[in-house]
Structure 1
Amino acid sequence: MDDAQRTFIYAKELAYNFLQYKERLYTFSWIKFENFDQVLNNFYASYFAGALILPKAKITEQLTTLFENETFDEHLFLEIINSYNASPESFYQRLTNVLPKEFNIQDLFFLRFTHRAGSERFHLKKELHLSHQHSPRANETNEHYCRRWVSLRVLKTISSTKEDHVFDLQISDYPDDDMKYLLLSSATKDPFRDNQYRSISIGLLINKHLQRKIGFLNDPKIKTTKVGVTCERCAITDCEVRQAPPILLERKNKNAQIETVVADLQKRLG
């Protein structure tokens, strides 16, 4: 357990005592819980801890400086993360609180992926969508997540380089949805499992409001990449990292063609 993890645990204990919660967890909610109140109080205590470790006023001031730049300053962004005794995951989660309240950036999502070094499997373990469900999302049918996502790319990088922290960003263009997102993603070692890594990402829908708030959206150094959700549903034909054929998309198109033929026959036959 590193210093950031210990700090978060101590902050949660302060929260439990300050809020005077009796129903509480003594381990992680995904390991064991006895009732819903324990899970809910754990959420409130975690929120309290995040706000204590990453104070809103300071992080708002830092982000304002970052957003005013016409080019993305990666060094400054990493300095902001490292200025807190907190993990990148805690920092990104705190952004989901601060960005809507202080910058009125409501259209965002948060993702946490896990990955075992040497494998080709990526598991979406946590997701949060504000305002509505955004294009990157979980699937429960063992489909292959788009390998063009920066969330997966940083995992591939860190699993081979063994660095402490790998960061990258991109603009993800979803042509089927006609939407673009600014994605910032950090990968670190999983503190609880050997030879496993996790990536934390926050995505911001690029709209007129975001263009007014963030000055570096037109930075030519930020790569724009056409992406899908899963290979099985993706219409991109020239993908160099496709893991599976677009069988679900083909099935959908075939069914649509059948429906068109049937509708045409019904119209002709009256």
Structure 2
Amino acid sequence: MAVAISQSSKLTISIASSFSNSSSSSSLSFSVIKPLSSSPFFTTTASRIHSHQTPFHSLSRRLFLPSVSGIWNALTGGDSYRESAMAIRRGMLLFRQGDVSGSLVEFDKAIELDPRQKAYLWQRGLSLYYLDRFEEGAEQFRLDVAQNPNDTEESIWCFLCEAQLYGADEARRRFLEVGRDPRPVMREAYNMFKDGGDPEKLVAQFSGNQAGEYFYASLYAGLYYESQNDPGSAKLHLLAACQSPYGQRSDDYMASLAKVHCLCRSWSSS
């Protein structure tokens, strides 16, 4: 089995499989596409997409790439798996465009088509958060962490859902501990949510670092303030995340999430 990832703006994964009793092969292609929108937070133009030859290096671990088990399911699961994967892509596209309700419809459709997807659908958990369905969102993130016990962001998002349900103190008592994140900014953010901390120190620590690190520090500082019921400070940092170079120009799904957050809260840069 071979997996090849291209370096173009369209992320393509080609999967070739051969078996000793068969000479046939199968291939699949997945694409991550950045949509266009008339929202003031979604101002990318077609010419800008084509002219931007050196996109920001993404710090996200939330890549829409198939795991080894996912590759096997793709090869053996038939039409239901392929249709489910397409529904996930449609859901991600709708979320990026600000249609959170529409994205959840597609993610739920993906689970109907292939129930195995539910334990991996962190995208669905994010949509549930922005629809104020916090109990379901926490359940989704707990399922995700059970499958991937090293995912820092799933742990944080579970906390964010449960802080809305039970308050920050109880959410911290229920905090999901995970393995060590390789990204310094996410290690610091994780410790801040887990133990309590100062979001301003987080942002200051990474303000002179890579653009992606500043973006993630601002994003999670804003989300931390939201969990503490401080909308003014949350707005300040979420808008800073959106307006950062990484937030404006990266294809990272979390850069889109920062824009969706501001859209859902009716915050604008003006």
TM-score, normalization: structure 2?
0.23
Normalized per residue, the structure richer in strand is 1
Normalized per residue, the structure richer in helix is 2
Largest Rg, 1 or 2: 1
TM-score, normalization: structure 1?
0.23
